[in-house]
Amino acid sequence: MRITEIRVYQHNITVAGGPYEMAISAVDTLDSTVVELMTDEGVSGFGETTPLGPTYQPQHALGARAAIAEMAPQLIGLNPLRTELVRRAMDSALTGHNYAKSAIDVACWDLLGKVRGERLCDLLGGTEHHSVASYFGVMPDTATRTAHAARTREDEGYSRLQVKVGGRPLADDIEATRAVAESISPSTKLLVDANKGWTMRDTIEFSLACRDVRLSIENPCRTYDEHRAIAGKLNHPLFLDECTTDLNTITRAITDGTAQGFGMKLSRVGGITPLRTVRDLCVAHGIPLTIDDTWGGDITAAATVHMGATIPNPFFEGTWISYPYQEQAYSCATSPIRPSNGTIPVPSGDGLGVQPKLDDWAPPVATYS
């Protein structure tokens, strides 16, 4: 099998019910890039990348499509079923830009599953699960409204809640966190996520003020070195997210004892091929992790759910998908991937188990052959 053509599609994703807010930014609309790999055997595979705006990380939608344009000519003629070799070809054609490489890598795995007649999760080692646990991110608000929102999501079946903090006085974050902790069941996992919006001092002060509350803190500061400096001064486990941009940093965070967990984004590390290495590394060291991405439609959701389904229960913290926060990204002929009662069913079809309804799509914005 050989790649004969690479088609690139663009879709706008509208945030439902107002902006999606984080400490460092808020977004109303996201720009999704979908890649279709065409082959000489008439089978195609799909991948997707949707940066969370241009300021969340050094990723943006126009950059994704420019990076694909740089790499695509070097990929024509390659066997997409040799996922590691495709990955090396992308690295040889372009340094960095993992978020763009992720879309192509996922499309290769989708193809591999379709050719072999197996689900992605089975290609990755298999699963005994029919669904995976999901978690919900509660937007910043007053203490009363944040607690009410958290309680509502718990009633919907979510067993892990992430409260967004930062970008406002620290006292407001402390008050809201305490209100949430008092309103939810002790069995529900609580995590506060500052998305790089706190200083080291803020993080230490928050952990001290909430030292009696059972919770974890996710990526409060900007850099890995900042987290390493404060890791031993906190009263809570520290999860790393935005600052874990490559396998070397993830390895350091484990061996240094800085991270007690990871919020792993599919597109940040470059797709399924490198993410399975992260999965195995975390399991080997007993480190829990979530499997997510920065947004996207059913293609992205399927990839994260399949990977999450392969992680042993003691180490799997859940999968976040952006569906509850957005309007439909694009049409698919297969059943949509949606959370229900706090879980997300694992797609049953070959590969990703998602088949885009291309007749409803606008023509590709770029084609490479």
pLDDT of res. 25: 84
Check if the beta carbon of residue 328 is closer than 8 Å to that of residue 301. Answer: no
How confident is the model over 84-142, as pLDDT tens digits? 999 999 999 999 999 999 999 999 999 999 999 999 999 999 999 999 999 999 999 99
pTM of the model as a whole:
0.96
| Contact (CB, 8 A) for 256 and 240 | no
> What are the residue ranges spanned by the domains of the chain?
3-117+355-368, 123-345
Burial degree of 366 (CB within 10 A; 0-12, 13-18, 19+): middle
By CB atoms closer than 10 A (0-12, 13-18, 19+), residue 308 is: buried
Q: Quick one: tokens of 155?
A: 């009633």
Q: Which of 101, 164, 189, 196 is catalytic?
A: 164
Q: Which amino acid is at 43?
A: V
CA atoms in the 13 A half-sphere facing the CB of 217: 34
Task: Give the sheet arrangement for strand 29-39, strand by strand.
Answer: 44-49, 29-39, 3-14, 366-368
Over residues 48-90, the pLDDT tens digits come to 999 998 888 889 999 999 999 999 999 999 999 999 999 999 9
Mean pLDDT, consecutive 10-residue stretches, the chain (369 aa), reads 98 92 88 98 98 90 97 98 98 97 98 98 96 96 97 97 96 98 97 96 98 98 97 97 94 96 97 97 97 96 98 96 93 94 96 96 98
pLDDT value at residue 24: 80
Cα angle 224, 228, 232 (rounded to 5 degrees) comes to 155
* Distance of alpha carbon 46 from alpha carbon 356, whole angstroms: 8
Task: Give the separation between CA 253 and CA 265, rounded to whole angstroms.
Answer: 16
CATH homologous superfamily of 3-117+355-368 equals: Enolase-like, N-terminal domain (3.30.390.10)
265 is catalytic: yes
- Rounded CA-CA distance 313/132 in Å is 10
Residue 290 has a pLDDT of 98
The architecture of the domain spanning 123-345 is: Alpha-Beta Barrel (3.20)
Catalytic residue among 101, 189, 196, 265: 265
Active site residue 114: no
The distance of Cα 157 from the centroid of its chain, to the nearest Å, equals: 21
Query: Regarding beta strands 216-218 and 189-193, do their DSSP bridges make them parallel or antiparallel, or are they unpaired?
Result: parallel
